[in-house]
Amino acid sequence: MRLSIFVNIILYLFMANTTNSWAQKTIHPSIDPAEILPEWAISMYAENPNVWEVETAYRDYYKTHSFVKTTHTQYYKKWRRANRFFIAPEGYIQRPSPAEERARTDKYAALKSRQATHGLRSGTWTCLGPYETFADYLTGGVQLAKSEQANVYCFEQSPANPNVLYCGTEGGEIFRSTDKGLNWACMSRLLAIGAPTAMKAHPTDANILYVGEYQRIYKSTNGGMTWDIVLTESNLDPTDIAISPANPNIIMVSSFKGLYRSTNGGTNWTQLYAQATYDLEFKPDDANIVYLLKNNPTEDRCEFFKSTDGGANFTLISNGWYNSTDPNRDDAGARMTVSSADPNRIYAILIGQAKSGDNGFIGIWRSNDAGNSWVLPNTPPGGPYNATTHPNLATFTPDDAGGYHQGFYNLGIAASDTDADDLLVGCLNLWRSTDGAASVEWVGGYGGFQTNYVHPDIQEIEINGQDMWFASDGGINYSNDLETPTKH
């Protein structure tokens, strides 16, 4: 059974003058000798910068200074991402030798071979353009358009009008489409906004949108033509925004600064929790029931909470939930999803470490009774990993016990609205399960360098009825005919 046809909607948009080379994307900007630079920028432009020191200085600087988008902040984002694979343990940039690069390529080829042996679902990916980046070196000399134009952090399809789409990009812009992705318009040219990390559209009015970035929540009531700041908190770092489908004046924001709730459309807010919160979901058939994933800083692990009064109060539920007591455990975040096909079904993917050596992936938990109890369909938390029974979804390869991963930055999950057992999971690679998370299969990403190219580094996955989307470092990808394969 084929995977079905996906469409890559490549967002050239704010990167119109870049190409497919990371080196070209991170060209050192011209600096006015008279300009006074912050310490983090001076460190970044040094001859041999330490990435960890620059990153710490950058965050410390914006704890006491208002964020203003500049050439240097834009360069920092591209510089940080361009070197993300080449950071030595001490923090300095260490590019691989030609031999090491060949070994990496061989590793990806081995992954593809293994996945083909174990039933990789092939598929066709078609670029609609604009065609700014091509990849003949990945396809045996055949020049094909490649999804590698823009890094999209968040995405939203309006429930009121499915033709209206919004997305937020790494460059600190918000884009809107009114024809389901064929054409896009920037709605934030005059808005001093950082890179959006969360957005949510009103359930009955496609012109009302909430967007969250580094320290603010913005609201537009006219499709992004104008914006109002409705919440400001330093180091907010929003992770999700939820709107009650029964009462759209009830807005909730999960963030690394805690959980916030408004009952008057964002005019006033109450902070319900001060600890980091990762994700929010309303039960598909009951707006009184809200689910929350939250960090427990004392236990250093993620916990599940449930509300039965529309998010005013939450209760911790631990029956069957992840509960590592290993001293080396670490909570790196989590995401969850629900399904209209079975309103009682919830999935939650947890990353970090349940014990030493987990290398980013803990497991996918499932609830069949609206969160009152939980099971782990696959192997117990953490490793050992292998390519067939217990893949490591966070790293480059499924059996990689010591590989690189990007934690919460690349993490998404969404269940089908027609089959609750069918779900997509995105980390560095895109994965699919058709048996309720008991097993997973690699769909694409690192190692998938052929005509069915899936850009790696998945930021968000959204499924609305027959419409399926994911946002990645390469743009937005769409499908409306992802068939349910024979389950095995």
Residue 407 has pLDDT above 60, yes or no: yes
Residue 383 has pLDDT above 90, yes or no: no
Rounded to an integer, what distance in angstroms lies between the CA atom of residue 373 and that of residue 365?
10
Q: Which of the four pLDDT bands, split at 50, 70 and 90, describes residue 191? A: confident
**What is the pLDDT averaged over residues 311-340?**
96
The angle at the Cα of 237, spanning 157 to 456, to the nearest 5 degrees, equals 60
Report the pLDDT value the prediction gives residue 23, as an integer from 0 to 100.
32
**Burial of 133: CB neighbours in 10 Å, binned 0-12, 13-18, 19+:** buried
Report the pLDDT value the prediction gives residue 68, as an integer from 0 to 100.
76
- Which of the pair, 68 or 197, is modelled with greater confidence? 197
Determine how β-strand 360-367 pairs with β-strand 342-353.
antiparallel
Report the pLDDT value the prediction gives residue 27, as an integer from 0 to 100.
44
Neighbouring CB atoms inside 10 A of 379's CB total 15
Residue 1 has pLDDT above 50, yes or no: no
Rounded to an integer, what distance in angstroms lies between the CA atom of residue 486 and that of residue 181?
31
Q: Which of the four pLDDT bands, split at 50, 70 and 90, describes residue 207? A: very high
High-pLDDT (> 90) share of the chain, %: 49
Report the pLDDT value the prediction gives residue 211, as an integer from 0 to 100.
98
> In which residue are the tokens 């069915």 written?
452
- Which of the pair, 134 or 387, is modelled with greater confidence? 387
Q: Which of the four pLDDT bands, split at 50, 70 and 90, describes residue 117? A: very low
Omega before residue 130 within 30° of 0, cis: yes
Q: Which of the four pLDDT bands, split at 50, 70 and 90, describes residue 171? A: confident
**What is the pLDDT averaged over residues 446-453?**
56
- Is the torsion defined by CA of 463, 422, 287, 267 positive or negative? negative
Residue 130 has pLDDT above 70, yes or no: no
In the chain the first and final C-alpha atoms are separated, in Å, by: 12
- Which of the pair, 146 or 185, is modelled with greater confidence? 185
- Which of the pair, 128 or 407, is modelled with greater confidence? 407
Report the pLDDT value the prediction gives residue 447, as an integer from 0 to 100.
61
R_g of the chain, CA atoms, integer Å? 21
Q: Which of the four pLDDT bands, split at 50, 70 and 90, describes residue 135? A: low
Q: Which of the four pLDDT bands, split at 50, 70 and 90, describes residue 423? A: very high
| Burial 122-132, CB ≥16 within 10 A → b, else e | ebebebeeeeb
Say which range, 38-52, 216-230, 274-288, 419-433, has the weakest mean pLDDT: 38-52
Centroid of chain to Cα 76: 20
Could you report the per-residue pLDDT of 250-265, keeping only the tens digit for each? 999 999 999 999 999 9
CB distance 457 to 468 below 8 Å: no
Q: Which of the four pLDDT bands, split at 50, 70 and 90, describes residue 65? A: confident
Average pLDDT, the chain: 82
Can you read off the two tokens belonging to residue 452? 């069915």
Report the pLDDT value the prediction gives residue 142, as an integer from 0 to 100.
56
Rounded to an integer, what distance in angstroms lies between the CA atom of residue 202 and that of residue 215?
21
Which phi and psi (to 5°) does residue 228 adopt?
A: -125, 140
Q: Given strand 185-186, what is the order of strands in its sheet?
A: 152-157, 165-169, 173-177, 185-186
Could you report the per-residue pLDDT of 6-37, keeping only the tens digit for each? 444 444 343 333 333 333 334 455 556 677 88
Q: Please state the three-class secondary structure of the chain as a single string.
A: CCCCEEEEECCCHHHCCCCCCHHHHCCCCCCCCCCCCCHHHHHHCCCCCEHHHHHHHHHHHHHHCCCCCCHHHHHHHHHHHHCCCCECCCCEECCCCHHHHHHHHHHHHHHHHHHHHCCCCCCEEEECCCCCCECHHHCCCCCCECCCCCCEEEEEECCCCCCCEEEEECCCEEEEECCCCCCCEECCCCCCCCCCCEEEECCCCCCCEEEEECCEEEEECCCCCCCEEEEECCCCCEEEEEECCCCCCCEEEEECCEEEEECCCCCCCEEEECCCEEEEEEECCEEEEEEEEEEECCCCEEEEEEECCCCCCCEEECCCCCCCCCCCCEEEEEEEEEECCEEEEEEEEEEEECCCCCCEEEEEEEECCCCCCCECCCCCCCCCCCCCCCCCCCCCCCCCCCCCCCHHHCCEEEECCCCCCCEEEECCCEEEECCCCCCCEEEECCCCCCCCCCCCCEEEEEEECCEEEEEECCEEEEECCCCCCCCC
Report the pLDDT value the prediction gives residue 93, as an integer from 0 to 100.
84
- Which of the pair, 478 or 163, is modelled with greater confidence? 163
As beta bridge partners, residue 347 has 337, 366
pTM: 0.76
Rounded to an integer, what distance in angstroms lies between the CA atom of residue 235 and that of residue 255?
9
- Greatest mean pLDDT among 20-24, 48-52, 423-427 lies in 423-427
